[in-house]
C-alpha cells in the first residue's frame, strides 16, 4: 500500500515536471510571436540568436548549460528537473515557433502576450512544485544568496544584467517586458501552493528535511491541552514538578501531630 502511494506520488511529480517544462517552452514561443517584449533572460537569448543566426531554443539550451557550469564553484547540486529544464524548454520553444503563427493585429498580439505570461506562471509553479530540482538560473541565484547575499538583490542584479546585455545585442524590449516583470512573481506565488505535489498523510508525522516533524508547534500544544490525562504543562496530575519533593516534605511536617509534653515533677 505504501509502495503504491510512493509510486503514484513519484509519477505525479514527473508528470507535473514535464508538463511544466513543456508549458514553459510554449509560453516563451507565445511571447516571441506577440512581439511586444520578452522576459529579461529571453531578451538575452533572442539577442544572441539574432547574432548567431540560429533558433532561439538552441541559444536557450546553450546559455542554460553555461549557467549550470557556474553551479560548480557554488557547490549546488542539480536534480532531474534541473537537467530536464536545460534540454526540454529549448526544444519545445523551437517546436512551438514552427507551428505558431505571428499575429499582426495589436489586439491578438496583446492576447498572445497575456496568454504567454499566464501560461509561464502556471508552468513555473508546476515544475517547481514537482520538487525535482530548480532551473539553472534559479539555482544560480539561490547559490549566490547562500553565500550571504540578499536573494532579492542577487536576482535583481542578474536579471538586469541579462536584460541590458540582451538589449545591446538587439533583443526585444517593450511593454511586454515590464508586464512580465510585474506579474510573474505575484502569479507564481498564488499558483505554487496549489500546484505543489504534497506528501501523503502518513508522512506528515515523519521528520522533514529541516529536521522537524510534520506537525507545527501550535498543533502540538493544542493536542497536549486536549489530552484527557495531561494538563497545560504536559505533566500528569499527581506527579510532582521540580520543587515537588520539598513541597511534600513541608506538607508532611505540617501534618505531624504536636509532641505531648510530659508533666514536670
Separation between Cα atoms, residue 152 and residue 18, nearest integer Å = 28
Which three three-digit cell numbers place residue 209?
A: 528535511
Which three three-digit cell numbers place residue 163?
A: 536584460
The answer to whether residue 249 sits within a structural domain is no
The answer to whether residue 168 sits within a structural domain is yes
Name the band, by pLDDT with cuts 50, 70 and 90, for residue 253. low
Task: Give the pTM.
Answer: 0.71
The answer to whether residue 227 sits within a structural domain is no
| Whether the Cβ atoms of residue 169 and residue 44 lie closer than 8 Å to each other | yes
| Whether the Cβ atoms of residue 141 and residue 151 lie closer than 8 Å to each other | yes
H helices present in the chain, as ranges: 2-34, 40-52, 56-69, 71-74, 80-99, 106-129, 136-145, 151-168, 175-195, 217-226, 244-255
152-211, pLDDT tens digit by residue?
A: 788 888 889 999 999 999 998 999 999 998 898 889 889 988 888 877 655 544 333 333
| Whether the Cβ atoms of residue 140 and residue 17 lie closer than 8 Å to each other | no
The three-point CA angle 43-122-202 to 5° equals 135
Among the listed residues 211, 184, 216, 214, the one whose alpha carbon sits nearest the alpha carbon of residue 198: 214
Range of the domain at 183: 2-195
112-149 b/e (C-beta count within 10 Å ≥ 16 → b): bbbebbbbbbbbbbbbbbbbbbbbbbbbbbebbbeeee
The answer to whether residue 263 sits within a structural domain is no
The answer to whether residue 184 sits within a structural domain is yes
Q: What is the mean pLDDT of residues 8-27?
A: 92
Which three three-digit cell numbers place residue 234?
A: 504536559
The answer to whether residue 251 sits within a structural domain is no
| Whether the Cβ atoms of residue 18 and residue 84 lie closer than 8 Å to each other | yes
The answer to whether residue 237 sits within a structural domain is no
30-80, pLDDT tens digit by residue?
A: 999 999 999 999 999 999 999 999 999 999 999 999 999 999 888 888 899
Q: Quote the DSSP letter at residue 203.
A: G
How many domains are there within the chain?
1
95 or 210: which carries more pLDDT confidence? 95
The answer to whether residue 250 sits within a structural domain is no
Amino acid at each position: 500500500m505504501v509502495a503504491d502511494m510512493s509510486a503514484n506520488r513519484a509519477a505525479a511529480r514527473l508528470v507535473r515536471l514535464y508538463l511544466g517544462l513543456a508549458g514553459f517552452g510554449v509560453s516563451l514561443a507565445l511571447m516571441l510571436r506577440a512581439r511586444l517584449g520578452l522576459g529579461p533572460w529571453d531578451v538575452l537569448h533572442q539577442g544572441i540568436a539574432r547574432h548567431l543566426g540560429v533558433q532561439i531554443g538552441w541559444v536557450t539550451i546553450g546559455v542554460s548549460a553555461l549557467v549550470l557550469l557556474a553551479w560548480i564553484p557554488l557547490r549546488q547540486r542539480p536534480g532531474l528537473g534541473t537537467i530536464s529544464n536545460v534540454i526540454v524548454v529549448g526544444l519545445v520553444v523551437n517546436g512551438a515557433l514552427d507551428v505558431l503563427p505571428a499575429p499582426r493585429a495589436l489586439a491578438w498580439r496583446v492576447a498572445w502576450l497575456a496568454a504567454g505570461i499566464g501560461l509561464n506562471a502556471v508552468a513555473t509553479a508546476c515544475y517547481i512544485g514537482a520538487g525535482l530540482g530548480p532551473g539553472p538560473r534559479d539555482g544560480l541565484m539561490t547559490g549566490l544568496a547562500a553565500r550571504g547575499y540578499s536573494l532579492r538583490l542577487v536576482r535583481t542584479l542578474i536579471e538586469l544584467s541579462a536584460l541590458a546585455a540582451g538589449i545591446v545585442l538587439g533583443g526585444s524590449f517593450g511593454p511586454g517586458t515590464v508586464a512580465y516583470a510585474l506579474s510573474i512573481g505575484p502569479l507564481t506565488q498564488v499558483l505554487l501552493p496549489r500546484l505543489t505535489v504534497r506528501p501523503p498523510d502518513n508522512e506528515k508525522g515523519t521528520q522533514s528535511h529541516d529536521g522537524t516533524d510534520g506537525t507545527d508547534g501550535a498543533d502540538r500544544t493544542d493536542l497536549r491541552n486536549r489530552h484527557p490525562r495531561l494538563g497545560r504543562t504536559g505533566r500528569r496530575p499527581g506527579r510532582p514538578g521540580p520543587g515537588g519533593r520539598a513541597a511534600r516534605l513541608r506538607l508532611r511536617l505540617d501534618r505531624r501531630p504536636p509532641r505531648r509534653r510530659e508533666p514536670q515533677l
